[in-house]
Structure 1
């Protein structure tokens, strides 16, 4: 089969001497993406109304917010893993490879951070609105 030396086949190492680490992580993140998307589709399907306020209220609940946050992390990590292998396999110039990997990491972690920030903003805005409504009700009831 031409998979390197016989000892390399026994150890599970390929030509890059990294073994199957990327392959396993890619499959695990794909499974995570599949399960999280299934949950979100079923959960969103039971929502009933799909206007802006209903969807924002749904996202602000703890379980959907956690699921979306985990999906954001998993999707960007999955994309990063796949594109890292692509760059390592097809970009041969050393400086170009390093530059492409640095840009990929900036884009992946930047996208992940932005997605998590936007989810947190929705959740905290909804919590702040609830607290403000409770304070207004308490002030009006205290008269």
Structure 2
């Protein structure tokens, strides 16, 4: 939930009696959203809330064996780069948006970055597949691109 859980401070009080700095209190109350929560919030709950469901949600975009440049030629705005545990939303053929823990040295947040950079980063440890189960069969980590809206 974007607004967090104010009860976290009373249910799990931090050690010590000093008041928490506001940034720490915000984190302690779990303000913000994770990657799939970002998508869920902006779609008003239309999309699944977790990546395990997003892996098969909508229609797959055929990307197996393609380079980042070739993948970029196939994507459309709002397509999802997804694997078990993370989703990146494609804004257009140049940019992505995602909620990440390691966002620019901060403790997390939403970041917009170049699509080419995002794909290159993903592809350093994962392979592009058309069906998420294909990578597991090969003993590899994979990712898929899903088109979840009607086009």
Same fold (TM over 0.5): no
| Greater strand proportion | 2
| Greater helix proportion | 1
TM-score (norm 2): 0.30
